[in-house]
Amino acid sequence: MAVSDEVLAHALDLFAGLGPIRRGRMFSGVALYVEEDVMFAMIASSGTIYMKSDEETGARYAEAGSVPFTYTRATGTRQVTSLMSLPDSAADDPDEATEWARLSLGPARAAAEKKRAEKARKAARKAKAG
């Protein structure tokens, strides 16, 4: 099941305060990016918006009633604690949603930097081997 156009438009409206947002595929949902490669949120096929988190921000999300993204595989259900649901209180409040998104930018930037460094290492190994 894909993310509906209505749900995607609502999420883009919620986070409009962040500036230009790029979309990409993630699981069976849609990833939301700022600053080219900084994935700060994901919309699951269920329509739930999940925000990028780390240990510190995840605790703040949990205090606000957020739950981690979960999915089921043949080996069982898995939790992705680096993606926490947008608090219900922010679901229709662009100002509050943008505050949560800004909180998620720290972990999102750190994850993007880690991916960039990993790609650079792979490219360097490939160039050295080739």
What is the rounded average pLDDT of the residues 60-66? 97
- Pair 108, 18: CB distance under 8 Å: no
Residue 79 has pLDDT above 80, yes or no: yes
Task: Find residue 72's DSSP bridge partners.
Answer: 77
- Pair 69, 39: CB distance under 8 Å: no
Unique residue bearing structure tokens 């949560």: 100
Amino acid found at 52: K
pTM, full prediction? 0.90
Give the per-residue pLDDT at 54: 97
Residue 97 has pLDDT above 90, yes or no: yes
pLDDT tier for residue 1 given thresholds of 50, 70 and 90: low
Domain parsing of the chain, residue ranges: 5-129
Give the per-residue pLDDT at 66: 98
pLDDT tier for residue 126 given thresholds of 50, 70 and 90: confident
Homologous superfamily, domain 5-129? YgaC/TfoX-N like chaperone (3.30.1460.30)
Give whole-number Cα distances, 14 to 68, 114, 115, in Å: 20, 27, 27
